[in-house]
Structure 1
Amino acid sequence: MVHILYIEDEIEIGSWIANDLKERGYKVTWLESGNEIEKYLSSTDIGILDVMLPGLDGFSIGRRIKKEDSNFPILMLSARTAIEDKIEGLSFADDYLTKPFHPDELAARIEVLLRRFQKSEDILQIGHLKIYTKDLQIINQKNNEEIQLTGKQYYLFQYFIRHLNQILTKEQLYEGVWGESYIEGDKTLMVHIRYLREKIEENPAKPTIIETIRGIGYRVKQ
């Protein structure tokens, strides 16, 4: 799960944005000042900073963060629309969004920055799939389109990726994804594997991503 460090001192705005981002599936640490940022930098993936803050302003905080870690993506939020402020912000930050804005635009800009700063070790290449492991974004490189997984498909494929190259038994998969003991003869896992293959395999009838290991279970091999 992507972890966002969000710094905003206005309670109403901060609550609105933090709650919206959480509903979109992000983990959010919301601070009202930059006094304790050092505690969170190593565990967060991106920073969203308001410019007008008590004490150190967002520009000063952003510069401090970039000095510590130049690869930490920063998005500035500000009601300041003057070109001079934007230029100052973009002299160190990676994006600058002026208020008011639509939450969909903020979310889109977050995703762009996350992809830009994605570390190479967080990207898997399996067959025709490019997989960004932090948020399990899957791109079909044949058409450059994103493959959307829903519900248990997502958690099932995530489990495979966490156990890449391992042969997993039906019992391991069911207990790992459903959190319950597997009952012999239950078709639930098999049905979800079929649905998952229909989305990610070039030819679901002859799967190459999710291998069936006869008599044992399944494997995703890089």
Structure 2
Amino acid sequence: MNQIHLLYIEDDKEIGEWVRANLQDRGYRVTWLTHGDLALEVADSCSLVILDVMLPGLDGFTVGQRLKKQFPALPVLMLSARTSIDDKLQGLQFADDYLTKPFHPDELLARIEVLLRRSGTAASEPLRLRHLLIHERENLIMNQDTGEEIVLTGKQFHIFNYLLRHLGRIMTKEQIYEAVWGELYIEGDKTLMVHIRHLREKVERDPASPEIIETIRGIGYRIRS
């Protein structure tokens, strides 16, 4: 699948995991670095950089200035807990936007979308999967048979998106559960199975004979490519 590649530089492990997971759930490919030493090497394949100010070694301002010097058209979004106007002005001398911590994930995503549109980065092509047309960037799933949108609950969306990110691969029940619920899977728990059943009722032509979400008996599930 064609995914927009983001470079994310953040040394705080907890924040980094949270932001990366959220962006990946929205269909982005994310390279996360905890320092800026390799930023110039990675940035060449990226469409946007999300850059924290407080980093070990080179600070975010220095890293951002070097990125802009080498890749002038590459959008840079600064993140910082610093709220003073002087810090914002320093960042905006080279960065395209500046977002202060703490922030809501929806605001971060909105800022990213604006910068990508401004830079002319095209949205990825929709994924065609049997009768489904999946617009990953817009989190939109259309039933091509009926022309109607398929609306998923939060957990259904996360399960479906997780399987899509591993298209064609068999994912174990443990992997799926722990990625979606963030908790250890307990053998015999029927929660995932129930959610898969309800998900199939929405995305399959015939939930009793699924064409999209395949059960791998005794192991887990996969989306057939």
Deviates more, 1:74-83 or 1:31-40: 31-40
Classify the secondary structure of the residue corresponding to 1:52. Answer: coil
| Residues 75-86 of structure 1 mapped to structure 2, 5 A cutoff | 75-86=77-88
How far is 1:152 from its partner? 2.0
The residue identity in structure 1 corresponding to 2:59 is D
How far is 1:153 from its partner? 1.4
Match in the other structure for 1:6: 8
The residue identity in structure 2 corresponding to 1:111 is E
Match in the other structure for 2:124: 135
Match in the other structure for 2:52: 50
Closer, same or farther in 2 for the Cα pair 1:195/1:42, shift >3 Å? farther
The TM-score normalised by the length of structure 2 is: 0.56
How far is 1:194 from its partner? 5.2
Counterpart selection for 2:38 from 36, 39, 52 = 36
Cα separation, 2, equivalents of 1:74 and 1:15? 20
RMSD, aligned CA: 2.2
After superposition, give the CA deviation of every residue in 1:24-58 in whole Å (9 maximum; x if it has no partner): 11111000001111221121110000000001000
Match in the other structure for 2:97: 95
Counterpart selection for 2:132 from 144, 152, 158 = 152
Counterpart selection for 2:71 from 69, 72, 97 = 69
How many residue pairs end up in the alignment? 137
| Mapped contact 1:5–1:29 kept (Cα < 8 A) | yes
Match in the other structure for 2:206: none
Structure 1: unaligned runs, 5 residues or longer = 120-131, 138-150, 156-191, 200-222
How far is 1:193 from its partner? 5.0
| Residues 103-182 of structure 1 mapped to structure 2, 5 A cutoff | 103-118=105-120, 132=122, 134-136=123-125, 152-154=132-134
Shift >6 Å, 4+ stretches: none
Cα separation, 1, equivalents of 2:46 and 2:146? 33
| Mapped contact 1:34–1:56 kept (Cα < 8 A) | yes
Match in the other structure for 1:16: 18
Structure whose alpha-carbon radius of gyration is higher: 1
| Mapped contact 1:153–1:195 kept (Cα < 8 A) | no
The residue identity in structure 1 corresponding to 2:38 is E
Cα separation, 2, equivalents of 1:21 and 1:13? 12
The residue identity in structure 1 corresponding to 2:116 is L
The TM-score normalised by the length of structure 1 is: 0.57
Cα separation, 2, equivalents of 1:56 and 1:24? 30
| Residues 185-204 of structure 1 mapped to structure 2, 5 A cutoff | 193=144, 195=146
After superposition, give the CA deviation of every residue in 1:103-138 in whole Å (9 maximum; x if it has no partner): 00000000000000015xxxxxxxxxxxx4x3348x
Classify the secondary structure of the residue corresponding to 1:13. Answer: helix
Structure 2: unaligned runs, 5 residues or longer = 136-142, 150-225
Cα separation, 2, equivalents of 1:96 and 1:61? 15
| Mapped contact 2:16–2:32 kept (Cα < 8 A) | yes
The residue identity in structure 2 corresponding to 1:154 is I
The residue identity in structure 2 corresponding to 1:108 is A
